[in-house]
Each structure stands twice: as C-alpha cells, then as structure tokens.
Amino acid sequence: MADPSAAVRAEALAAVKLRVREGDPDASRRQGERGKLTVHQRLDLLLDKGSFREIQALRRHQATGFGLERNRPRTDGVVTGRGTVDGRTVYVYAHDFRIMGGSLGATHAAKIHKVMDLAESAGAPLISLNDGAGARIQEGVAALNGYGGIFRRNVRSSGVIPQISVVLGPCAGGAAYAPALTDAVFMVRGVGQMFLTGPDVVQAVTGERVSVEDLGGADMHGTVSGLAQFVHDDEAESLAEVRRLLSFLPYNNQSPPPDYRCQDPVDRPNDRLLDLVPADPNRSYDMLQVIEEIVDDQDFMQVHETWARNVLCGLARVGGQTLGVVANQPAHLAGVLDIHASEKAARFVRLCDAFGIPLLTLVDVPGFLPGSDQERGGVIRHGAKLMHAYCAATVPRIQVIVRKAYGGAYIVMDSPAIGCDLSYAWPTNEIAVMGPQAAAEVIFRRDIAGADDPPAARAAYTERYRAELMHPLHAAEHGYVDDVIDPRDTRRLLAEALTDLQAKNAPAAYRKHSIFPL
C-alpha cells in the first residue's frame, strides 16, 4: 500500500509545478494584451505534443538587495528543457516576460548555460525563444557575467550544432548579441525588436527621434541590416517555420542532413525551363521560378528573402537529398553581385559547409556592381568573403551556368577554378571577361573609331567576339565546364550528381583556422 504522506507530497509537488506553468493570470493577460503568447503556448507550438521535459523548473535566484529577496519566483523568468520536433530531439530555452520582465540574472543565466551545455554534449540543435528585458540591473555585474557565458557557449557550439533564435519580444543591449551569434534569427513583426541602445538613449545622445520599429524592428533587420534571416507576421507562423528549417538541418556537424522519401520523380523533365529563361542576356526573369522547377515539390526555403535580393539563398531537396542553393537573381539589379549580396551568400555557404549540406550554385551574373559607394564600402573585401567561403567548402559543390557569367563574378560564383566538383552549362551560357559589346569596345577601339560607320562596325565586332569567344560550346571545348546540358535534364543530372558525390572526402591541411576576410 502506498505511503499516504508520500502520495500527499507528490500531489503537492504536482500542484506547485502546475502553478509554475500557468503563472500569474494577470501577467498572462497583460502578455496577451501586448499581442504575445505565453512561454508555454510558444513551446506547445514549437515542439511535438507532449514532448517537452522541463529542467530546473523549481529553481529560484539567490540574490539579495534592492528588494530581490522579497521577489523570488520559480523558474527565475526562463523556461529550459528538451523536446522533439518531428521526433528529433532539440534543446530549448525560452524567456518568460511575465516574470521580472524575463530579465537575466545569475540564476537565470545558469539555467541557460546548463541547457546549452546539454545541447552541445548531446549533439542536438539549440533553440532560444527571446523575450526579455535584458540584464537584471539589481544584480549588476553578475548579470553581465551571465551574458558572457552565453556568448562563449554560442561561439563554442558554432558549426557544431544548429543554433536558432526566435525574437518574440525586446532584445536590448547585451541580449541582442546572443541571437546575432546563432545560425538563424527569426523575428515577428510588431513583436520582436533588437537594438543595442533604445530610442530614448539614441535621442538623448544624438538628438535623433526614431521609433522602436524603425530602430530595431523585424522589417528593419530583415530588409536593411540583414540580421534577421526570417521575418513573419505572427508567432504561430514563425514557430512553424522553425520546425520547417529543422527538417533540412542535421542534428550536428557529424550527422548527415535528413533524407526524405521523394514523391516527386527525379527524372521529371523540366520542360518549363525552356520558357522561363530568355536567350537574350539583357532580358530579365525570375530565378526563383527556375529553382522551384528543379527542386522537389517546388519546396524552397529562402534565407534572407528581403535582404540583398539580387542573390537568392535557401534550402531545398532534390531526390529527397537536402542541398543549399545560391543563385543570382536577374529580376533584381540584373543579378549583379554587390557588398550585401556577397556577404549574404558567403554566410550561407559557410552554414551549409559547416553542416555537411551540398551546394548548388545557379549562375547568371553580369559582374560586380560598379560605383564609388561600393568601392568605398569595401566591395573587394566583401567579395573576398564569398570567394573564401567557397574555396574553403569541402561539401559536394555543383555549378550550373544558366546564362551569362562575366568577369570576376563568374569566378566567385563557385567556378571550377575555385573548386566546384561539377560544372554544367545550359546552351544559353555566355562565359567571358565581360559582355561582348564592352569587350569589342576595348579590343577594336581604333577600328571602330576609324570605320566609315562606327555603329555598324561596333555591332559587327561585337558579334565576332560573341561568335568566337562566347558561343555555347566554347567553355566546354576548353574544359571550363564539364558538360553543356539540355535544361530539361537539370533535375535528373543534379540528383545523380548528389548521389555520386555523397562519399566525397576532401581533407584539409592542418591549421588552427584560416584568416577570414571579415
């Protein structure tokens, strides 16, 4: 027979845990009035039903002074634990704004440190749901020390386990750096903000009046700063997309990306591609439609959808195999590379390489964006980031030249010279130092100037250059592409190449690390 006192104690403990989970009803109501979900509502949306196991739910802070000894709620304003997403284990910490504004003190930080250590040792993804008021001022340097421990663990786990941040409230001061150190940042419009100094401080120091949204809102970081990779309209959508992202990522850098049984035939002909891409190199088209035609079930998860739109980056599958896609976007700035596009693509290439995700690069690039603003802004240095990222990548790398590929931008977009494994070209390809008219102007400048009809001469020399040095088979004849393919065969050939390259082994020379052109 069960010990009655033990049963009573178990019931009392269950009641305490229930009260901790439900929280203060008034605080929950205020959270809802702000248009925000409670911490457990968020976890219920993120994780598989019934899978969450909380860690240190009963812990309280031990600080004294400034009234803290009279305010010692359990959890200390952060919920930590583990659960599953589509049956795969993840670790999570989530600020609870209802408790002391989700502010971080020593105990709060210690709970986060523990779950980060568990994620690293288990080799499982780490997700943070950020909704806190920053450092707990009453705890002084202890709070700052807590942030330092989080940052050190972020860096230690970088490239080892996937780290995902979801910004569902304020992230001010030091709190903004933790998301910035992770692999992917999700933000919700009207709810999440990130900034180092708030609007009041900005006005006091600089005299500038700026709203919270303009200073650090989701659209600003998604479109202008590039800090947020994903921006959504509501929390449910954002958390669903976190689950979707995890479906493409491995547990850790020693595990393969998950494979899915593909219902979309890999030998499906891509007839539509013949109409999507104009042969005229000066006509625009949407590369996104090309990608969706090639990948499984048109499922392409864009990264940085509204930032640096002249290059597309994202995750997809071909034949059930995960791959990362980098592609020039002729529909925006003609697909030219510039400072932001180079940085965006470089970061994505590094992410894919860290987690063993093969890379597909679709090329239609007229060059780098000219101009004094670009040069002064360091376009050479930023372009070097993309070059470095590709050169250092050891995952399978496949290049497809869709149309034009001019100058240094051709080299940077994973050309064979910098190490891609296979390079295919469509019959519309034009690979050259520059466009044919510009090349003719340089080579035949005097002949054109001395001609009886300079415009006619310019046109003739342009066509001569195109016919001799830019015809579709020129690069293949010289071994600079491995094959010129029918666009309709692209999907099938990619699936075959990904399978053939699965066992690729590219050991690197020993070194502590390379000097990345930051």
Reply yes or no on whether 409 is catalytic.
yes
Choosing from 83, 102, 174, 435, which is the catalytic residue?
174
Query: Residue range 425-431: average pLDDT?
Result: 91
pTM given for the model: 0.92
Give the span between the Cα atoms of 265 and 236, in whole angstroms: 32
Is-catalytic flag, 159? no
Name the one residue in this structure whose structure tokens are 């390489």: 353
- Average pLDDT score over the chain: 90
Where does the pLDDT of residue 66 fall: very low under 50, low under 70, confident under 90, or very high at 90 and above?
A: confident
Out of 159, 190, 407, 408, pick the active-site residue: 408
Cβ(368)–Cβ(325) below 8 Å: no
Proportion of the chain above pLDDT 70, given as a percent? 97
Q: Which of 409, 475, 476, 495 is catalytic?
A: 409
Q: Calculate mean pLDDT across residues 331-360.
A: 97
Q: Tell me which amino acid residue 24 is.
A: D
Q: Tens digits of per-residue pLDDT, 376-422?
A: 999 999 999 999 999 999 999 999 999 999 989 999 999 999 999 99
> What does 140-171 look like in DSSP terms, one character per residue?
THHHHHHHHHHHHHHHHHTTTS-EEEEE-SEE
pLDDT of res. 513? 80
Q: In the chain, what are the domains?
A: 4-246 (3.90.226.10), 273-434+472-500 (3.90.226.10), 436-469 (no CATH)
Q: Crossing angle for the helix pair 287-294 and 490-500, nearest 10 degrees?
A: 60
Known catalytic membership, residue 450: no
Question: Does the active-site annotation cover 173?
Answer: yes
pLDDT digits (tens, 9 = 90+) for 105-151: 888 999 999 999 999 999 999 999 999 878 887 788 888 899 999 99
Whether the predicted pLDDT of 101 surpasses 90: no
- Separation in Å, CA 495 to CA 5, 123, 345, 422: 64, 29, 23, 13
Q: pLDDT-derived band of residue 313, with 50, 70 and 90 as boundaries?
A: very high
Residue entry with tokens 């002909």: 269
At 17 the pLDDT is: 67
CA 429, 432, 434, 436: dihedral to nearest 10 degrees?
-70
The answer on pLDDT for 250 being more than 80 is: yes
| pLDDT beyond 80 at 64 | no
Share of the chain above pLDDT 90, in %: 65
The answer to whether the CB of 220 falls within 8 A of the CB of 273 is no
Tokens of 248: 């493409």
What number is the average pLDDT over the span 74-86?
A: 92
Q: Answer yes or no: is pLDDT of 201 > 70.
A: yes
Per-residue model confidence (pLDDT) at position 38: 92
